[in-house]
A and B are shown apart, each in its own frame.
Chain A
């Protein structure tokens, strides 16, 4: 009995559509989120993540509706991130059918939010999303905001340690240098964050070849998140899982039914 590694497709959603660009620019329309969630579920996704990148209140309401419709037909864990600023925002998403929420900028602005959410709903609902890049800080990695455009003035490892102490249940580590490049996960960054954290670690940003996925696991990731390689059909989820399975990583397989 071994815990499987998780393969997590990430759907960036704005105004009810899935989009994904390279380094968060050049957004390309990639599909309907509920349909894509259903498809990924059938293909063997172990979880799903929606990142709401809507800029407007109306866009956020649309995302709640997307979460509701997805939770009605897809029975695997669903994480939703983007624009969460309060315990009430979390409550609304959980009630719509999300199982976990990921927070990023709002936790940087007000770290107590982590403890507030964890106290109310438990650490297991809370994913800390860290958009990090290589920089001249103490650890060599810094936290960014605004999709990697601005420095948050925080050392990435110091931030992870602080957030873990405040009660996050999981870390989503997104390399802003590698994001969308399909040139591989930032292995050094994964190794460094793994060394200072004892909660599950999701690697994100840069997945391209099948070897990239196993390299991130070797560096200490518990789960692997990817967007463009799945959305544009470069790899199917089944391909990634059978590659990992062949190389003796524990993956979930499903009986035909």
Chain B
């Protein structure tokens, strides 16, 4: 069973249906025990970095992610759900950056690009050892974001470019994350989701 962590408003219906196409039961939940015990947990992202962390903390999300990692249970972050896996984010912060969950040491900062958000379909450059991108290396994925991590973390990275090069996806043992929205990336996105689900 796959759990999609519900910690705010937004479009979780697409994610629910997209993960269901991979052949597992899917629940959208904010229940701690369900999120903890699920075979795979999906952490979507809603709004800005700090707002997202507030929403996550309201359902004890950071602790759930850490506890799953300690128990070797897979988690997948999507979009802002990827960004908050990092230690720091500068979105809407005037002084000190906001703190993330801190699975990865790094900072999520604004992309240096003339037009923001980076909105639309972009290609990626994935490591040949990637599990997520197996069979979809040359395809485009749907991005909507203005901030990103720009330094490598984890064991396997995929990169994309908008104004500058940034991390499009990370695979790191039991934690994976994509800056793009696989649930909105058509057939290529569904194939990537199936790769993740099949790896559980």
The residues of A with any CB-CB pair to B shorter than 8 Å are 1-6, 41, 46, 68, 71-73, 75-77, 91, 94-99, 120-124, 169-170, 198-200, 222-223, 252-255, 257
Contacts and interface: CB of A to CB of B under 8 A. Distances in A.
Given A72-B17, A99-B11, A124-B144, A3 B162 contact: yes
Contact of B160 (A1, A121, A223): A1
A71 B47 contact: no
| List of 6 A-B pairs having minimum Cβ-Cβ separation, nearest first | A1-B161, A122-B47, A97-B13, A252-B121, A252-B140, A4-B121
B40 interface: no
24 contacts: A1-B159, A3-B121, A3-B143, A4-B120, A4-B140, A71-B17, A72-B17, A75-B18, A75-B187, A75-B190, A76-B184, A76-B186, A95-B13, A99-B14, A121-B10, A121-B46, A121-B47, A124-B117, A169-B117, A170-B119, A200-B117, A222-B115, A253-B140, A254-B188
Interface residues of B, number: 47
B100 interface: no
B87 to A, nearest CB: 21
A159 to B, nearest CB: 19
Contact of B120 (A6, A68, A94, A95): A6
A95 B9 contact: yes
Given A122-B51, A169-B117, 4 more contacts: A41-B186, A75-B184, A199-B115, A199-B117
B139 interface: yes
Nearest to B162: A3
A1 B122 contact: yes
Contacts of A252: 121, 140
Contacts of B159: 1
Contacts of A97: 11, 13-14
Contacts of B114: 198
Contacts of A124: 117, 119, 144-146
A38 to B, nearest CB: 12
Interface in B17-50: 17-18, 46-48
B77 interface: no
B134 interface: no
Interface in B142-200: 142-146, 159-162, 181, 183-191
A198 B13 contact: no
Contacts of B125: 1
Interface of B: 9-14, 17-18, 46-48, 51, 114-125, 136, 138-140, 142-146, 159-162, 181, 183-191
Interface of A is mostly: loop
Contact of A75 (B51, B115, B123, B183): B183
B115 A1 contact: no
A91 B12 CA distance: 12
Contacts of A77: 142, 144, 181, 184
A125 to B, nearest CB: 8
Contacts of A170: 117, 119
A77 B47 CA distance: 16
Given A1-B125, A1-B159, A120-B47, A169 B119 contact: yes
Nearest to A1: B161
A122 B46 contact: yes
Contact of A99 (B136, B140, B161, B184): B184
Contacts of A2: 122-123, 161
Given A2-B161, A6-B120, A75-B183, A91 B14 contact: no
B8 to A, nearest CB: 9
Nearest to A253: B140
Contacts of B191: 257
A95 B191 CA distance: 24
Contacts of B9: 91, 94-95, 120-121
Contacts of A4: 120-122, 140
Contacts of B162: 3
Contacts of B184: 75-77, 99
Contacts of B11: 71, 94-95, 97-99
